[in-house]
Structure 1
Amino acid sequence: MGVSRSMKRAFKYRFRPTDAQAAELLRTFGCVRKVYNLALAARTEAWTTRQKKVGYRETSVMLTGWKKTDDLAYLAEVSSVPLQEALRHLQNAFARFWGKSSKYPRFKVKRKSRASAQYTRSAFRYADGRLTLAKMAAPLEIVWSRPLPVVRAQRALSRKEKGSANHAKARTRVARVHGWIADRRRDHLHKLTTRLVRENQTLVIEDLTVRNMVKNHKLARAITDAAWGELRRMLQYKTAWYGRELIIVDRWFPSSKLCSVCGAIADQMPLNVREWTCESCGTTHDRDENAAINLLAAGLAVAACGADVRPQREYSSHSGRSVAKQEGPPARVGIPSPRGRGPGQKNLGSVKAPPASRYT
């Protein structure tokens, strides 16, 4: 019988605090950094002078005493939860150090360390899409870049008895949330594809085998969320609507492994390699930018010659015409600006699907 494991998911959201909220957050960040450094100094001094290990409980008692002093009385003006969490983070850092999995904890510096504070459930209130942190009178104005997870609705459904009226209501709520998420995703794809088609005369995309790519269980969910197949479908019918040209480059075209400067092809290019250096010319490439340049060059060849181009191999294009291998290095092509386009010159744009890891 297998052991079920629960996994926590983190979501990033942007918010626009007021001047008062921004000041409160900056004050909290400073207090968190101060408490972390004080606790680190106390634990270091105890070990170096008395060979004594000081843990989280001792530093928590120290924090109470620090708040009662005149010099550190300002620590009581912010929420105590982020300060306690800073002590827990320090405890975890020491645990990793004693376990020989990381170096000795370092002091936080204002200009170099990331300003952050962690609030647990007891230090914030979320209701009706509004988030209010402790010590703040008004909720934060959040920019919801993606919908909130549907875990709560799914859990409520699982607790209802099947066949009951409450179960039917819970199913309706879950379906409504999923429909809202699908509408958000579809709206984004429509806006993106419409902008691409309107701004370019010719679009070049890669013939990705999404069905096979989702077999990778580590990337399947992210690829599905990105909806690459729907993106291609929209581009196909919208280019027909607007009288544009859509060129689909063969899936075996080595867009990522091909150096866009000298034309050399790398032997291997696993998915975890996001930057690579060409062994022939020494040029360092961003994986996606290099692939987009190569796809655009292939699209230019199709637009000019009416046939697909694939280096180092002869193959058949979608139109059934076979072409020989490309002799010289591919041309480094940029996307012409509409303002600088001459008479009769076309806009060309390459569409490279972003890596699925960016959606996770």
Structure 2
Amino acid sequence: MKLRYRYRVYPTQNQQTKLAQLFGCCRVVWNDALALVKQSQEFPKNSDLQKSCITQAKRTEQRSWLKEVSNIPLQQSIADLGVAIKNYFDSQKGKRKGAAIGFPRFKKKDNRQSARFRKGGFSIKNGKVYLTKIGHLKTKWSRPLPSEPSSVTIIKDRRNRYFLSFVVEAEVQSSPAPNDAVGVDLGIKTFAVLSTGEKIDSPSYQKLNRKIRRFQRRLSKRLKGSKRRDLARLKVAKLKAKLRDTRKDFLHKLSSRLINENQVIALEDLNVKGMIKNRRLSRAISEAGWSEFRTMCEAKSQMNSREVRVISRWEPTSQYCSDCSYKWGKLDLSVREIICLSCGTLQDRDGNAATNIKNVGVGHTHDTKWTGSGCKTDVSAVCDELSTHLVDEQLVLFAS
């Protein structure tokens, strides 16, 4: 299977100038090709776009500077545009899974910049990465590459950091897991409650959020195009990058741990898009990264011969006991613990839900609407208060 390995690089000042020129050329080629696609009644082929936006454009005076960079990233920019357009139409026709994809947009200078090299445009010798017309880049090898890469992408984020992203072919690892299965109930303050009873708290983003809001207010007051505005924008970008890195580090470590320790990971299909509409919880839900965590688990499960099972979002995991399957119904969010009326067990709300998620995920399911004779409420559990039930239009009073 194909994987991506990402490393931090530290180009020299001369190499940064060359990379800026390369990013600009790739961006211009993308925008020219996209403008040509939007003007055409029929979508042109990639070969036609390369001929008009690269080969013929180099002969003009306005685009003559395209000759100063490698031709391979320019061709890959056209190819990436073709893939983006194809993904858009596949998404519209229902051929592509996941959320709907929008039509490709024009690239901006202030956003994340990238350029992709295929074989022939880069080489790795003695731990040094060479890019055509860029030179050897100082790379921090955090881990070795499992095989020879087929392509490499040089990336510059909004924080002015540079990365190399390699596409390699890796073998699937098949090692037995110490545990059979685990159920995971995701939350906000407590990010995950496992069916084993362990609770994993979310990292706190409050200090970073306060700093981001303060510097964003300063950024809004700066004059557009000024150096002070650029410095303020860079400060905001650094803080947001730190928040993203903190979240990713936490999610990577947790997902790797669950994958290494369990053969089956059971998750709940959460309606994140609908939950974000709650204005009081939208920021906290977005920062939690539930969808990103699920994506990491699914990707790492394929690498390690594990299985991730996602149960239905309509499964009432918080409405019945995980020990005796007695259904007590919906609970208010303020109720964190409950005593089962059937078996008398004190159940933690999230721990009980995690156990139910595990049972449904591994196939130990049952009809949650059925209570059976063994799940009837005992007489001793009925309180002294009168309750009313209508049976054959007669009012019957029950009391202990």
Q: TM-score, normalised by structure 2?
A: 0.39
Decide which structure has greater helix share.
1
TM-score by length of 1: 0.43
